Structure 1
């Protein structure tokens, strides 16, 4: 049984919820962009600003900022259209019920673009963590292509929408179901394999005295959980045929951006506290949130912190204690014995 939430009330709440989440995203984006461009890592300290900007994660961050901002602007414009411009503000219900409105179509395009970029970055991270193994990203690449096709389909269907149609049973509704399924599969698959890879690397690093990487594992899992739970929440509200789906789906881009930026910010802040160093254990794991060149988690050349060792050297001389070079005064050669033991 669907919840009896008025359409106008649902869209009014959209403006408040979307604006709140957009503000959170904006703060995280600013911090993430600063850390990505001005990160004090040793191998980027001598790079110019242009080289730092032309990295996959910086470019994707800028793109996702544009799409999320565009979606939020469309939400604000639609609020003014419904209560001020359209029919002099006397028919907000008719305005919101018409999904073929240009602002609604454009907003849908921004929404789907944000989801596509977010999924693409997840696949990129998976590819880097698994040492650029192409076979590991075969499945998520297929789901990403499916998402792109369905995103085009849903955007087009909104242009053909006839006021009065039931969005839950039309062709647009089937595109929505497919979109949600594809992005859900992509994120669960990528997050699970990234987490498993980091966990295995952590186990190997601990054997050699490296520090724990569980904090990085927690960052990945927590950020993925935010996006996945919101996707499930939207799908549940959509399938229950309630108007609550509208504030949920309109906040989807901001939630995508928040989950995206949280990884960059939390890993970046943890790294900055170590100056120019990197996280111990697998040195490349800490670089996951920077660039393709600086992201090498799971690299075959893994490095670990070595335990300190004490070396005790004893020299035994048969006759005499005064020597020149390698011979003693009496002509007898001494012998060297060394003991090496870990501290």
Structure 2
């Protein structure tokens, strides 16, 4: 482990940086939830009951876990370490079995699981509800949850003198990081390939370009993936920088997810009231089943069935 002199400063730095990131996330989260709820309400008035869509539930779930992890736990832990705990901040932050540390870890696992579930849901929608394409990420999601439970349990069994790098939790931490990395890389790659392929198919018929959609997905995935790789590198090198990254990880997850919803939501608002086949197939809207003309009632739902039918008629 790095010298203890860097341990407390690392926790102070994580508190400051994570507060800034949480502020960014909070703006995106409130905007996203309002846009998704407004969009759902608009469709409900047209006879489609999707008020509690998976993306809305997921966005609210992320907001709850990230807010709890930051304000209820990280802020409270800072006050406890420097004001209430008699042995000082070094002993407080070094105790992995401390109740708030264990609960904070649980909220972190919950945040990562919700974030991964949301991207798996997008993959499922984009690939036309193909259950086979999501089998691998569902497996890695289960692995993430199991690994997270293992980390939380091992923290409760922490003994004085152990470190997070050499404790039994170490193997679970590495596994959890690899699982979430695989989930995001797999889902982003398959979503991007599907968008690129569909974009090439519809453009000759006057369909909308999907390059901006690809950019949104890749940029958001890059934010999360870079953070994940950086955390794993810090942890494996036994650097206390991992303390900063691990506290910022939930906010980074939220920013990566909510940035997509905000940019897509702004597209909804811009296209609202424009009755055309292109406008009807707003960003992240795809034909998910060419055998039926049915619109999927989700945040990434887009009737590409209609596009395909029009394309087959040669009228698009």
User: TM-score of the superposition, structure 2-length normalised?
Assistant: 0.88
Partner of residue 63, structure 1: 61
Alignment of 1:226-305 (within 5 A): 226-277=223-274, 280=278, 283=281, 285-287=283-285, 293-294=297-298, 295-296=300-301, 299-303=304-308
Q: Which runs of 5+ in 2 are unaligned?
A: 287-294
Check the 8 A contact 2:124/2:133 in 1, yes or no: yes
Take 1:111 and 1:25, find their aligned partners in 2: how far apart are those partners? 15
Take 1:114 and 1:279, find their aligned partners in 2: how far apart are those partners? 37
Shift of residue 300, structure 1, vs aligned partner: 4.7
Take 2:220 and 2:303, find their aligned partners in 1: how far apart are those partners? 20
Q: Which runs of 5+ in 1 are unaligned?
A: 310-341
Q: More helix per residue: 1 or 2?
A: 2
Relative to structure 1, is the Cα distance of residues 151 and 279 closer, same or farther in structure 2, using a 3 angstrom cutoff?
farther
Aligned residue for 2:133, secondary structure, equals helix
Partner of residue 85, structure 2: 86
Alignment of 1:16-165 (within 5 A): 16-39=16-39, 43-46=43-46, 51-73=49-71, 74-87=73-86, 91-165=88-162
RMSD (CA atoms): 2.6
Partner of residue 13, structure 1: 13
State the Cα deviation string for residues 78-104 of structure 1 (Å, max 9, x = none): 0000000000xx511111110110000
Larger-gyration structure (1/2):
1
Shift of residue 207, structure 1, vs aligned partner: 1.1
Partner of residue 325, structure 1: none
State the Cα deviation string for residues 132-163 of structure 1 (Å, max 9, x = none): 00000011011111111111110111111112
Mean alpha-carbon deviation: is it higher for 205-214 or for 269-278?
269-278
Q: How many residues align?
A: 302
State the Cα deviation string for residues 174-197 of structure 1 (Å, max 9, x = none): 100000000000000000000110
Take 2:156 and 2:3, find their aligned partners in 1: how far apart are those partners? 27
Take 1:293 and 1:22, find their aligned partners in 2: how far apart are those partners? 30
User: TM-score of the superposition, structure 1-length normalised?
Assistant: 0.81
1:192 pairs with 2:197: no
Take 1:2 and 1:34, find their aligned partners in 2: how far apart are those partners? 44
Shift of residue 169, structure 1, vs aligned partner: 2.0
Shift of residue 38, structure 1, vs aligned partner: 1.0
Shift of residue 61, structure 1, vs aligned partner: 0.7
State the Cα deviation string for residues 66-125 of structure 1 (Å, max 9, x = none): 0000110200000000000000xx511111110110000010000000000000111110
